Amino acid sequence: MSGPAGMPAPVLQRLNAEIGKLLQMPDVKEAFGRQGAVPMGGPPERYDAFIRAEQARWGDVVRKNNIKVD
């Protein structure tokens, strides 16, 4: 999940903790599994690093192939 830039740290920490609890629930894990998804919890910094790496990776693909959104 993502939120707005500049989210206050206490809010971010609380949301991260609550989402982490949800991701451990068997029915939530099962729902993700049915969709072929693997839920990944963890610290916000890890998610931020993942998103930045994906933007760099796929941004290069988009630019090199001149991909446009309709």
Phi, psi of 40 (to 5 degrees): -125, 110
Mean pLDDT to the nearest integer, 43-52: 91
Range of the domain at 57: 9-64
Domain count of the fold of the chain: 1
Examine residue 13 and state whether it is found in any structural domain, yes or no.
Answer: yes
Examine residue 69 and state whether it is found in any structural domain, yes or no.
Answer: no
| pLDDT in the model for residue 30 | 93
Examine residue 2 and state whether it is found in any structural domain, yes or no.
Answer: no
pLDDT classification of 38: cutoffs 50, 70, 90: confident
Examine residue 1 and state whether it is found in any structural domain, yes or no.
Answer: no
Examine residue 3 and state whether it is found in any structural domain, yes or no.
Answer: no
Examine residue 53 and state whether it is found in any structural domain, yes or no.
Answer: yes
Examine residue 60 and state whether it is found in any structural domain, yes or no.
Answer: yes
Q: Are 12 and 45 in contact (CB under 8 A)?
A: no
